[in-house]
């Protein structure tokens, strides 16, 4: 586990050890979503068709997001 800070622009830096282990490179596109109270970041395939299937695994739900925000 690593602790990171959110800067004024809302950005975080992924620790270098994680980037190396996951083979993340500059300018790669990542999928970011919430699951319960967790922020999930997943790399997307370079293949656009595969990337689309990866994005569709967890279908975003506006109702789920609204329900989550109402609990806060």
Residue 60: per-residue pLDDT: 56
Entry pTM: 0.57
Determine whether 24 is exposed, middle or buried from the number of CB atoms within 10 Å of its CB (0-12, 13-18, 19+). Answer: middle
d(CA 6, CA 10): 5
Query: b/e string for 53-72 if b means 16 or more Cβ within 10 A?
Result: eeeeeeeeeeeeeeeeeeee
Confidence of residue 62 (pLDDT cuts 50, 70, 90): low
The answer to the question of residue 8 being in a domain is: no
Residue 13: per-residue pLDDT: 95
The answer to the question of residue 36 being in a domain is: yes
Strand-pair category, 30-35 with 38-43: antiparallel
Model confidence pLDDT, tens digit, residues 8-53: 999 999 999 999 998 899 988 888 889 899 999 988 766 777 767 7
The answer to the question of residue 62 being in a domain is: yes
Range of the domain at 42: 25-71
The answer to the question of residue 30 being in a domain is: yes
């Amino acid at each position: 586990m690593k602790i990171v800070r959110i800067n004024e622009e809302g950005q975080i830096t992924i620790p270098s050890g994680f980037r190396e282990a996951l083979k993340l490179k500059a300018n790669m596109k990542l999928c970011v979503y919430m699951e319960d109270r967790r922020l999930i970041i997943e790399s997307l395939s370079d293949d656009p068709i595969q990337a689309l299937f990866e994005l569709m695994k967890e279908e975003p739900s506006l109702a789920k997001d609204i329900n989550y925000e109402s609990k806060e």
